Amino acid sequence: MSVGISESALSRELSRNANDDGYGAESAHALASQRRVTATKFSKTDERHMPIIKKGLLLDWSPENISFRMKVEVPTSHSATPLFITVLLLTKCMEALCIRIYPAEALQRW
């Protein structure tokens, strides 16, 4: 009788989610939910980048300059794209915050 999935996927499901009583859908779901909660989350940004981003924004550096500086100070970075996006988002947040706190000065600056 075929269940519509490969033997390796079925074997993996049984080995990961079977307990002493055998396999049960409810217990398998509970185990999967528990693994999901305790799993290590992947983060595209590294905490080592945040001080560099904040300092660069305070010095009015462009996102390109901040990205270059991060490559120099933290050379183990895997991808510049998520970092560049983080810098752009932080820049937009700081601009929005500046406009809310100092509306007249922000309008005169631009």
- CB count within 10 Å of CB 63 equals 19
The domains of the chain are located at 7-38, 49-109
Radius of gyration of the chain (CA): 24
The pLDDT score that the predictor gives to residue 110 is 43
The pLDDT score that the predictor gives to residue 104 is 56
Averaged pLDDT, 14-33: 86
Residues 6+ apart with CB under 8 A from 96: none
The pLDDT score that the predictor gives to residue 100 is 57
> Quick check: pTM over 0.75?
no
